[in-house]
Amino acid sequence: MGLKTVTIEVFGKVHGVYYRQSAQKKAIELEITGKVRNKPNGTVFIRATGNEEKIMALVKWCKDGPMLANVTKVEVIETPLTIFDGFTIER
């Protein structure tokens, strides 16, 4: 199965609830590379590269996130393939 890259934007109570750290842990567990960061508008931005099955598993996880999060919406857009070195948290 080939690789694909997606941009995921997560809405709701997702700042201050360890969302980025939890997303990084889940991505590493799924062997997905990419990055995650908080956006000033209160959302979490994720760019992730992996095979389709693993990307879909990450998207499914994003809909709940960590225990303290309250996710109201998740938007996913397929973007041009990007190769990352690991999965990082951006400040």
pLDDT in tens, 46-77: 999 999 999 999 999 999 999 999 999 999 99
Q: Look at the domain 16-72 and name its fold.
A: Alpha-Beta Plaits (3.30.70)
Q: Classify residue 40 by burial, with Cβ atoms within 10 Å: 0-12, 13-18, 19+.
A: exposed
Q: Which tens digit of pLDDT belongs to each residue from 10-49? A: 999 999 999 999 999 999 999 999 999 999 999 999 999 9
Q: Could you tell me the pTM of the whole model?
A: 0.96
How confident is the prediction for the chain on average, in pLDDT?
97
Catalytic residues: 20, 38
**pLDDT for the residue 1:** 65
What 3-state class would DSSP assign to 11? strand
